[in-house]
Amino acid sequence: MTPADVRSLFPILNERAYLFSGGIAPASTPMRTALEHHLAALTYNTGDLYPRFMDETRTLRERVAALLGTAEDEIVVNDSTSTGSSLAVSLIAPKPGGNVVFDGFPYPSSVYPWMLPPRDMLERRFVQPRAGLIHLEDMERAIDDNTVAVSVSHVTPAQGFRHDIAALARIAHDHGALLLIDGAQSAGGLNIDLHATDIDFFATTAMKWLLGPAGVGFLYVAKRHLERQPPTAGWVSTVQTDMEQLRLLPSAERFQLGMPNLMGVAATLPGIEILLETGMDTVEAHMLDLTGYCIDGLQKRGITVRTPRNPTQRAGVIAAEIEEAGALQPFLTSIGVDTYFLRNLFRVDPHIFNNREDIDRLLAGIDEFRSSQ
């Protein structure tokens, strides 16, 4: 599929320039069709869904694994990035005198689980940016032989900065530490091969760049960690034989408790298929072209852009500082351009279904807003 082919699958783009894929993905026509089929089955053939759910969930794990460069048995289906991040933390034992290293652009779900007992006794180290960037050598200086784990976002949501997670994994592993990645702003936007990066855990969500709904998430657990004991267990996580001799499954399913969100699974598969059919190399190249084009346009207007211009240090998130962001964002919404703001942070997140005309429409809207002030 070409970007133009993908664009034709999203009805919202007939009327609006939707530029907030890092928040929530719009529904595609294949997603709507899948939901209609699921509702019809739930209404008229309800009993069929129960035996089918394991097969559909297995298919979803297979597709996500293919997209992220993993094996199916390393993927846990859950409900959100935060759930995956918390589960990963729970699999790591604290140690006296240990520490955890974060960057200075942390997302709460990467930090808060480490603040709960018994891991609250670990020292928390934050590596601050220099000139708006997190430098690998600064991360390396913070990591030592007492480091239990390093926890960062692959792409930071408030800056759009992309870590070199393969390099970070090598540094962490040299000191016996594990690397946990929040991939909410990278999975589905970047061409990722998790096996090649050698990271330990990768949590993400369907609702953003993976073109799916809220309520479905994934955790990658590297095969070398599949023997770890889960903090909880349910019927899906066990080999069901004699009730007195239950055994945990050898795959990542040992970390899944029960039946997943079946409607969410049905709604997630079409987006994964769109990305696979398009090819993640095409998705990443298209997205980087749009973000570079947008950054140039914003900077020409004197707007301070937090996101690096270097394409190896960014992905689909463009973060800018605009004092009037609280007024600009609703104005853009009123003229059919969807973005995001938080205080003076203004964000634009183009995806594979966007084109340069959408960016031009955004930039023209900014000009119109400024001229009206």
Q: pLDDT for 303-351, tens place per residue? A: 999 999 999 999 999 999 999 999 999 999 999 999 999 999 999 999 9
Q: Residue 241 has what pLDDT?
A: 67
Omega prior to 94 cis, within 30 of 0: no
* Long-range contact set of residues 344-348: C-beta below 8 Å, sequence gap at least 24: 345/158, 345/319, 345/320, 345/321, 346/319, 346/320, 346/321, 346/322, 347/20, 347/22, 347/23, 347/157, 347/317, 347/318, 347/319, 347/320, 348/19, 348/20, 348/294, 348/298, 348/318, 348/320
Domains of the chain, each with CATH number or no CATH: 3-27+279-372 (3.90.1150.10), 34-276 (3.40.640.10)
Q: How many CB atoms lie within 10 A of CB 324?
A: 14
In this predicted model, what pLDDT tens digit does every residue of 228-255 receive, in sequence order? Answer: 999 988 888 888 666 677 788 899 999 9
In this predicted model, what pLDDT tens digit does every residue of 35-88 receive, in sequence order? Answer: 999 999 999 999 888 777 778 899 999 999 999 999 999 999 999 999 999 999
In terms of Cβ atoms closer than 10 Å to its own Cβ (0-12, 13-18, 19+), residue 345 is: middle
**8 Å CB contact between 160 and 304:** no
**8 Å CB contact between 199 and 172:** no
> Residue 208: pLDDT above 70?
yes
Cα dist from 138 to 84, 168, 230, 369, whole Å: 27, 11, 33, 40
- List phi, psi (to 5°) of 351: -125, -170
Q: Residue 233 has what pLDDT?
A: 83
Q: Indicate the SS3 state at residue 287.
A: helix
> Residue 200: pLDDT above 90?
yes
